[in-house]
């Protein structure tokens, strides 16, 4: 019998190893893209919970990636938004913030994470506007400001800021010119901003367009 | 190559074969399914969420020993090691509840908490500040809660048959020796601390924690705000004066300073007063606040308050109005409070503080001068942590040292001085044992050593709470409390024992859908109260005693009326005590049997205003008529007051504020003063103790200048 040629086996093993590593990266990308789509398009609380759970699993397995925590948090914020009962809203927002903290621990200066944190504070106000307003509205605006400082091109930080400014102006009966001005800049950035990260957030344009209708 | 191909395909084949199916059901401690649970293999993507009936199923290509994990909010993470390799693995998962803030039962007997940190509080921090008739005075707002007595001529808190000194105020755990501003006799004083400073208020009407002592009836625990959020300048222009404050905030800290000048004279010019003022009250106050976050989780807070106030008035003789005595009072007050807290490790926190109070009263009665000085130092450290996930422990030690002197400089007769130094060293420990999210027991004890009387005492405190439903609970509290007698008594007899009280409280509370219902009943037993021996105020002993019992109801509704919030409180009190100059047990003059309050607040969007009304009613209070045989036999007419306030916000940073007490103009009488000498016919003449003015009208304009134009002073009004 011909002796087993070791080199092909080694190459094969190497190929298998490289394949599995690439496969891991591929698997990560595939899983992320599938679940990001799922949080964007989820139509029920159950769907959101499923996607959030999957993203938490990916985050825990990967350990060095902030994006899974980011989208899990986004999912929790969507759940908080849908939830009617104040106490339960707070629970989802607590989980959203916990996920944001984990994302920040991995990447402290990512503008998208900070903008999302502001979004959580914004939803926090809706639980009890009279009590929460003074503390969380200011905190939300400050956080959006911080996100814009980290990345002036971030359209989401600007769109959320515009929402907050609009809501405050409506509450006090003040003119909405500042809010609408911020909104126009936000819409411009939605068109011009392109991130290098294939998993970067894409949401927010619809929300901004919705607000634009109120402005004119 | 063919061999290679075979080997590779063998790997693939084997890999395909090694799929394991993991399935099962997730239930909680009661056997109920938990849908949406995240069930997965640690460090892999493999997993799934449980269905509506708790069942789950997923496949994995992993091999060997792996950790199966199940997580869901409100429960402890479930972990079980499983060995993969078989085709099918069945796992039944039971999740154990964590003691979490939102679900857990809390001890509510005898306590009202206001704050944003705990989401199931009965009051919000902003409620304290926006109650009509309270004019941003904490005691004023708390006076609309059950368990308090309306004693309008003093403006202080009287709780459940206790005198006003039986309620103690604490800021960040540190005692405040004099929480009220000085006032003329029979005119209301105001609290020294404004609601805007605090993020949390816990007002107990009995049975309070072992951490606090030296208060027979109640502890008012105030938690000051952490770092300020933004840099701002606040200006207040008031009908009685003005103030300017500036706050500078940076990333991890903030500093604020405020100067306030109050002078009632221009106001008195407009509105007639019952009191014959020579110099109406004027005061100058400076406040400084510094906060800095230290390290990862630490916080350092410093608060300083200085106040200088002065007034003089004429006291007219009851028998002959033309005979009058000049009374003048100057008060200098200083309070410094330093506080520190930090996280020691995952399970333990530490906090501590040091406070210094200096009070100087310089009074003149005609040509007699009485100078009173009290200085106190308080040092305290507390450790808080978890012994396990079901047991929380709080333990600490503190020292309070007080020096009191009173100098009498008399025109006729010899000068003399009285005083004393008292040191109280205490330690306490208190554990909260959560048997489940539904049942908690709090056990604690407080040890005190008083060096003036050389006595060591141990006082137990026990309370429990049981959740009867999703939003309702029953709570029980028992405790022994002690307090040194008042300064004016201890200065005469340094060996007076502490006065003591024992509380028994039972409470039921239901909080659901923005509505709160609360009913509470209590029994208090007082002993060792200070009495005048043989009716002589210089012969003091601890032979006095008393009791207080009653029932209280509270209803709050934030939802029925849109944009409106109201609460109703009713207290019934049956109390008698034998103390001071009482010849026998009698109802004290500050106690009224029925106390009723209705508070209503409404935000009118169109008018950009917040409107508030408060109506208070109490049945008559006893008073002593020397013309009558029976001691404290007189009864005043009932007390009734309707107050209102409006806060108008034309711009986010500008507020116009108007408030008026006693809209109906009722002549409320709090009691009667009697002349010490009878007139020619042998009758003791009297004078009614009335409100200082038929109404108190207050107008204010509040401006906030900051980069963020939506910041304003509304939360602090």
Residues B159 and B79 occupy one common structural domain: no
**Is B711–A61 a contact, with Cβ atoms under 8 angstroms apart?**
no
Residues in chain A whose Cβ is within 8 Å of chain B: 4-5, 8-9, 11-12, 16, 27, 31, 46, 49-50, 53-54, 56-58, 60-61, 87, 90-91, 95, 130-132, 134-135, 137-139, 141-142, 168, 172-174
Residue spans of chain A under pLDDT 50: 1
Do the Cβ atoms of B37 and B68 come closer than 8 Å?
Answer: no
Residues B121 and B222 occupy one common structural domain: yes
Do the Cβ atoms of B464 and B442 come closer than 8 Å?
Answer: yes
Give the structural domain span for B274: 111-716
Task: Please check whether residue B79 touches A, CB under 8 A.
Answer: no
Provide the strand spans (E) within chain A: none
- B52: CATH: 2.60.40.1120
**Is A142–B603 a contact, with Cβ atoms under 8 angstroms apart?**
no
Do the Cβ atoms of B671 and B632 come closer than 8 Å?
Answer: no
Residues B522 and B566 occupy one common structural domain: yes
Residues B311 and B453 occupy one common structural domain: yes
Predicted local confidence at residue B717, as pLDDT: 46
**Does a structural domain hold residue B102?**
no
Residues B117 and B38 occupy one common structural domain: no
Predicted local confidence at residue B7, as pLDDT: 59
**Is A12–B8 a contact, with Cβ atoms under 8 angstroms apart?**
yes
**Does a structural domain hold residue B462?**
yes
**ipTM of the complex as predicted:** 0.84
Q: At what angle do helices A177-192 and A155-172 cross, to 10 degrees?
A: 160
Residues B131 and B71 occupy one common structural domain: no
Nearest to B255 by CA among B278, B288, B304: B288
Task: Please check whether residue B7 touches A, CB under 8 A.
Answer: yes
Spatial CB neighbours of B5, under 8 Å, sequence gap ≥ 6: none
Nearest to A96 by CA among A156, A48, A150: A48
Residues B82 and B125 occupy one common structural domain: no
B707 CA to chain A: closest CA distance, Å? 11
Question: What are the structure tokens assigned to A26, written together?
Answer: 């591929």
**Does a structural domain hold residue B101?**
no
Question: What are the structure tokens assigned to A158, written together?
Answer: 């600007």
Among the candidates B60, B95, B130, a domain finishes at: B95
Residues 584-603 of B with CB under 8 A from A: 603
Do the Cβ atoms of A81 and A121 come closer than 8 Å?
Answer: no
Q: What is the largest CA-CA distance in chain B?
A: 134
Q: What is the largest CA-CA distance in chain A?
A: 92
User: Strand pairing of B148-149 and B622-623?
Assistant: unpaired
Q: How far apart are CA B294 and CA B284, in angstroms?
A: 33
Q: How far apart are CA B646 and CA B664, in angstroms?
A: 17
Residues B205 and B295 occupy one common structural domain: yes
Predicted local confidence at residue B6, as pLDDT: 60
Coil, helix or strand at residue B671: strand
Residues of chain A positioned with their CB less than 8 A from the CB of B44: 57, 61
Mean pLDDT by 10 residues, chain B (717 residues): 59 61 91 92 91 92 89 90 85 86 73 62 66 71 88 86 90 86 71 73 87 92 80 85 88 89 76 76 90 90 92 86 90 94 92 95 91 95 92 95 92 86 96 90 95 94 91 92 93 93 94 87 95 90 95 90 89 95 94 94 81 93 92 94 87 81 90 88 89 82 74 55
**Does a structural domain hold residue B244?**
yes
Residues B51 and B154 occupy one common structural domain: no
Predicted local confidence at residue A1, as pLDDT: 47
Please, what are the domains in chain A?
Answer: 28-108 (no CATH), 129-216 (1.25.40)
For tokens 């949080």, the residue is: A39
Write out pLDDT tens, residues B206-223.
888 999 999 999 998 888
H helices of B121-189, in order, are: 125-130, 138-142
**Cα–Cα distances in angstroms (integers) from residue B372 to residues B313, B362, B405, B417, B485, in the given order:** 19, 6, 6, 10, 17
Do the Cβ atoms of A34 and A41 come closer than 8 Å?
Answer: no
**Residue B216 DSSP code:** S
Residues B133 and B79 occupy one common structural domain: no
Question: What are the structure tokens assigned to B502, written together?
Answer: 């024992």
Spatial CB neighbours of A167, under 8 Å, sequence gap ≥ 6: none
Q: How far apart are CA B45 and CA A139, in angstroms?
A: 35
Do the Cβ atoms of B657 and B699 come closer than 8 Å?
Answer: yes
Q: Which of A27, A57, A137 sits opposite B710 (nearest CB)?
A: A137
Q: How far apart are CA B624 and CA B634, in angstroms?
A: 6
Among the candidates B95, B125, B159, a domain finishes at: B95
Q: Sort A70 into a burial class: Cβ within 10 Å, 0-12 / 13-18 / 19+.
A: buried
Coil, helix or strand at residue B635: strand
Among the candidates B95, B123, B140, a domain finishes at: B95
Collect contacts of B72-76 with beta carbons under 8 A, ≥24 apart: B72/B26, B72/B34, B72/B36, B72/B37, B72/B38, B73/A91, B73/A95, B74/A91, B74/B98, B74/B100, B74/B103, B75/B28, B75/B34, B76/B389
**Does a structural domain hold residue B104?**
no
Residues B90 and B115 occupy one common structural domain: no
Residues B66 and B215 occupy one common structural domain: no
Collect contacts of A21-30 with beta carbons under 8 A, ≥24 apart: A27/B45, A28/A58, A28/A62, A28/A65, A29/A198, A29/A199
How many A-B residue pairs are in contact by the CB < 8 A criterion?
89
**Is B42–A60 a contact, with Cβ atoms under 8 angstroms apart?**
yes
Q: Sort B30 into a burial class: Cβ within 10 Å, 0-12 / 13-18 / 19+.
A: exposed
Phi first, then psi, for residue B255 (nearest 5°) are -135, 145
Q: How far apart are CA B243 and CA B234, in angstroms?
A: 8
Residues of chain A positioned with their CB less than 8 A from the CB of B46: 57
Residues of chain A positioned with their CB less than 8 A from the CB of B117: none
Q: How far apart are CA B506 and CA B523, in angstroms?
A: 9
Q: How far apart are CA B158 and CA B173, in angstroms?
A: 21
Question: What are the structure tokens assigned to B67, written together?
Answer: 């950790």
User: Strand pairing of B167-171 and B218-224?
Assistant: parallel
Phi first, then psi, for residue B86 (nearest 5°) are -75, 160
**Does a structural domain hold residue B85?**
yes
Nearest to B551 by CA among B160, B112, B123: B160
B43 CA to chain A: closest CA distance, Å? 4
**Does a structural domain hold residue B686?**
yes
Do the Cβ atoms of A199 and A67 come closer than 8 Å?
Answer: yes
Residues across chain A? 216
Write out pLDDT tens, residues B540-589.
999 999 999 999 999 999 888 888 889 999 999 999 999 999 999 999 99
Residue B257: Cβ within 10 Å count: 15
Nearest CA in chain B to A49: B36
Q: How far apart are CA B165 and CA B172, in angstroms?
A: 20
Element (H, E) at B697: strand B697-706
Element (H, E) at B182: none
Number of domains in chain B: 2
Predicted local confidence at residue B561, as pLDDT: 85
Q: Is pTM beyond 0.80 here?
A: yes
- B593: CATH: 2.40.170.20
**Does a structural domain hold residue B246?**
yes
B130 CA to chain A: closest CA distance, Å? 12
Question: What are the structure tokens assigned to B267, written together?
Answer: 């106001």
């Amino acid at each position: 019998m011909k002796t087993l040629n070791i080199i092909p086996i080694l190459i094969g093993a190497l190929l298998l190893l490289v394949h599995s590593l690439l496969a891991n990266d591929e698997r990560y990308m595939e899983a992320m893209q599938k679940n990001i789509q799922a949080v964007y398009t989820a139509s029920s609380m159950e769907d959101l919970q499923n996607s959030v759970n999957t993203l938490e699993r990916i985050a825990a397995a990967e350990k060095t990636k902030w994006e899974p925590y980011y989208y899990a948090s986004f999912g929790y914020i969507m759940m908080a938004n849908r939830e009617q009962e104040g106490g339960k809203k707070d629970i989802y927002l607590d989980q959203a913030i916990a996920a944001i903290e984990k994302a920040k621990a991995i990447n402290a200066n990512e503008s998208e994470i900070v903008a999302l944190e502001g979004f959580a504070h914004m939803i926090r106000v809706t639980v009890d506007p009279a009590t929460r307003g003074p503390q969380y509205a200011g905190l939300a605006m400050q956080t959006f400001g911080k996100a814009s400082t980290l990345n002036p091109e971030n359209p989401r930080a600007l769109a959320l800021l515009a929402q907050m400014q609009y809501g405050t102006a409506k509450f006090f009966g003040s003119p909405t010119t500042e809010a609408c001005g911020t909104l126009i800049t936000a819409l411009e950035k939605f068109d011009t901003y392109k991130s290098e990260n294939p998993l970067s957030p894409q949401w927010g344009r619809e929300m901004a367009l919705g607000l634009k209708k109120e402005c004119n | 190559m063919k061999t290679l191909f075979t080997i590779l395909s063998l790997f693939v084949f084997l890999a395909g074969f090694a799929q394991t199916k993991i399935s099962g059901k997730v239930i909680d401690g009661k056997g109920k399914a938990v849908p949406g649970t995240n069930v997965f293999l640690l460090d892999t993507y493999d997993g799934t969420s449980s269905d509506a009936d708790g069942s789950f199923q997923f496949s994995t290509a992993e091999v060997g020993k792996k950790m199966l994990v199940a997580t869901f909010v409100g429960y402890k993470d479930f972990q079980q090691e499983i060995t993969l390799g078989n085709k099918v693995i069945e796992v039944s998962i039971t999740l154990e509840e964590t003691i979490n803030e939102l679900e857990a039962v809390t001890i509510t007997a005898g306590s009202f908490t206001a704050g944003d940190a705990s989401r199931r509080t009965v009051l919000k921090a902003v409620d304290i500040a926006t109650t009509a008739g309270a004019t941003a005075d904490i005691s004023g707002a708390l006076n609309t809660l059950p368990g308090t007595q309306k004693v309008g001529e003093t403006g202080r808190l009287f709780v459940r048959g206790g005198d006003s000194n039986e309620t103690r105020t604490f800021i960040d755990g540190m005692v405040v020796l004099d929480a009220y501003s000085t006032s003329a006799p029979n005119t209301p004083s105001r609290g020294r601390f404004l609601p805007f400073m605090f993020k949390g208020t816990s007002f107990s009407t009995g049975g309070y924690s072992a951490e606090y002592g030296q208060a027979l009836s109640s502890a008012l625990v105030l938690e000051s705000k952490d770092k300020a959020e933004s840099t701002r300048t606040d200006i207040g222009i008031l009908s009685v004066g003005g103030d300017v404050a500036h706050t500078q905030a940076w990333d991890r800290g903030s500093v604020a300073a405020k100067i306030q000048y109050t002078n009632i004279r221009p106001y008195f010019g407009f509105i007639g007063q019952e009191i014959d003022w020579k110099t109406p009250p004027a005061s100058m106050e400076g406040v400084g606040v510094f906060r800095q976050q230290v390290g990862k989780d630490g916080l350092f807070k410093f608060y300083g308050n200085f106040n200088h106030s002065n007034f003089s008035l004429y006291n007219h003789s009851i028998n002959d109005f033309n005979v009058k005595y000049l009374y003048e009072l100057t008060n200098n007050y200083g309070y410094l409070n330093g506080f520190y807290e930090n996280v020691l490790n995952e399970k333990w926190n530490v906090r501590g503080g040091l406070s210094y109070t200096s009070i100087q009263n310089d009074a003149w009665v005609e040509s007699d001068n009485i100078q009173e000085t009290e200085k106190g130092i308080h040092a305290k450290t507390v450790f808080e942590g978890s012994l396990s996930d079901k047991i929380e422990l709080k333990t600490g030690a503190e020292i309070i040292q007080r020096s009191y002197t009173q100098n009498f400089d008399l025109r006729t007769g010899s000068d003399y001085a009285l005083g004393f130094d008292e040191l109280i060293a205490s330690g306490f420990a208190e554990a909260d044992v959560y048997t489940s999210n539904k049942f908690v027991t709090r056990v604690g004890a407080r040890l005190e050593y008083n060096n003036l009387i050389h006595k060591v005492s141990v006082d137990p405190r026990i309370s429990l709470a049981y959740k009867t439903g999703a939003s309702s609970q029953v709570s029980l509290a028992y405790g022994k409390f002690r307090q040194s007698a008042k300064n004016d008594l201890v200065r005469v007899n340094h060996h007076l024992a502490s006065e003591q009280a024992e509380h028994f409280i039972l409470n039921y509370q239901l909080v659901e859908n923005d509505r709160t219902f609360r009913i509470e009943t209590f029994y208090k037993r007082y002993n060792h109260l200070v009495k005048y021996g043989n009716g002589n105020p210089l012969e003091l002993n601890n032979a006095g005693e008393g009791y207080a019992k009653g029932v209280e109801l509270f209803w709050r509704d934030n939802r029925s009326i849109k944009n409106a919030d109201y609460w109703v409180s009713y207290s019934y009190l049956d109390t008698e005590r034998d103390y001071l100059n009482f010849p026998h047990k009698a109802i004290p003059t500050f106690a009224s049997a029925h106390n009723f309050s209705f508070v209503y607040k409404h935000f009118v969007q169109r008018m950009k205003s917040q409107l508030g009304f408060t109506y208070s009613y109490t049945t008559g209070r006893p008073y002593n008529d020397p013309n009558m045989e029976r001691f404290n036999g007189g009864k005043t007419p009932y007390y009734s007051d309707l107050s209102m306030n409006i806060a108008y916000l034309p711009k986010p940073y500008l507020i116009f504020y108007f408030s008026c007490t006693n809209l109906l103009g009722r002549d409320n009488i709090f009691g009667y003063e009697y002349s010490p000498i009878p007139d020619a016919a042998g009758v003791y003449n009297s004078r009614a103790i009335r409100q200082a003015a038929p109404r108190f009208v207050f107008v204010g304009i509040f401006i906030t200048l900051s980069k963020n134009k939506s910041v304003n002073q509304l939360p602090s009004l």
